[in-house]
Amino acid sequence: MEVVGGEGEFVECCYSSKVWSGRGRVRFGEGVGSVWWRNLNQIRSGVGLVDIGWLSDNIIWKVGDGRDTLFWVDPWLDGCPLARSFGRLYLLADNKLATVSEMFELGWGFGGEAWKWRRRLLVWEEGLLLECVERVITCILQVGTVDRWVWKLHTSQCYTVKSAYSFLTSIDTNQNEGFDSFLCLKAVPLKVNLFVWRLFLNILPTKDNLYGREVIDVTQLHCAALCGELEDRDHLFFRCEVYSRIWLLVSKWLGIDSVFNGNIGTHSTQFRGLGGFSKNSRTAFTIIWISVLFVVWKDRNNRIFQNKSVQLETLAEKVKLQMFWWLKSHYVLFDFDYPYWRLNPLCCLQAIV
């Protein structure tokens, strides 16, 4: 069966109950195709879950004799296709659809017959090839064993509903797990990464935490935005009727109409998925999400410690400017001036996703 998922994406497998234990090859498209296809993508992307990589993290493609595994295209080594790790070599490869066993039999050592190119390799490309050879040369194929999907959460290595359910119910109750997907976000300064880490662990000095440590008394618990409510993490960043307007201003700037959840896990999942569920898109929207949080936190501190308050519109402008510098300093392809970024954020983000 072949299902077209749009933009060249396809499923080349029998998508039945045997999909996780049988042979097959799956490639997912993003936000395109039929309702069925999009639902399938959402399951795979973990929409609504704290750990959005749960499915792809727990299925691995195990190579046996290498006859059903495409050497360049399938993620058979360390979970990443060689076509991605060695994009230059893939472009030059003569047979892009060779299987692992074909490459092995031809000889994949340095100078082996497996390496056929559309033109002679340049010196630096030879260096890449050496690196690639070092990666594959240690692989040992198992004659008589078929290549197959392996489900990591059950001893039988086959998918069971019960194993998936118990895994999901255990991670969904642990909100701190959500921070894993934010670790090492290089486009964001270290101090801001630390801020997000403390936010997820709920150890920022918000007023409820300070009260818990007996630093302040019960009369000082009110939200700095003067909304009349008590300040805790979820209130300050996601529920406060004053600060929550900044989410609306920023999403309006992005041309997206959305109502957001009032808790850190669901809010982050929802916001980071606004641009689609590809890894790069999630990263870009995570940077926006963090930028808003950091601006809110700084403004809240200014209100408390310096008795200064500014309009929400000014804060939204700070989010835009802060993001502009973060992106500019990290992404070479983000080659825009500030006025253009301010007017065309999605267009500029396209350059980095």
Residues that bind Zn ion (CB under 5 A): 223, 225, 227, 229, 240
Torsion sign across C-alpha atoms 98, 17, 9, 149: negative
Our CB check for Zn ion shows the closer of 129 and 224 to be: 224
Taking Cα atoms as reference points, which of 83, 64, 63 lies closest to residue 73?
83
Q: Any idea which residue has 């976000």 for tokens?
A: 185
**Computed over its alpha carbons, how large is the radius of gyration of the chain?**
25
Instruction: Enter the tokens of residue 36.
Output: 């069925």
Q: How far is the CB of 151 from Zn ion (least distance, A)?
A: 45
Q: How far is the CB of 74 from Zn ion (least distance, A)?
A: 51
Our CB check for Zn ion shows the closer of 52 and 264 to be: 264
Q: How far is the CB of 64 from Zn ion (least distance, A)?
A: 58
Q: How far is the CB of 223 from Zn ion (least distance, A)?
A: 3
Instruction: Enter the tokens of residue 270.
Output: 């929802």
Our CB check for Zn ion shows the closer of 18 and 303 to be: 303
Element (H, E) at 148: strand 148-151
| Angle of the 244-253 helix axis to the 312-330 helix axis, nearest 10 | 60
Our CB check for Zn ion shows the closer of 148 and 207 to be: 207
The stretches of 139-201 forming alpha helices (DSSP H) are 161-172, 190-201
Q: How far is the CB of 320 from Zn ion (least distance, A)?
A: 23
| DSSP structural state of residue 120 | P
Our CB check for Zn ion shows the closer of 129 and 225 to be: 225
Instruction: Enter the tokens of residue 145.
Output: 């064993």
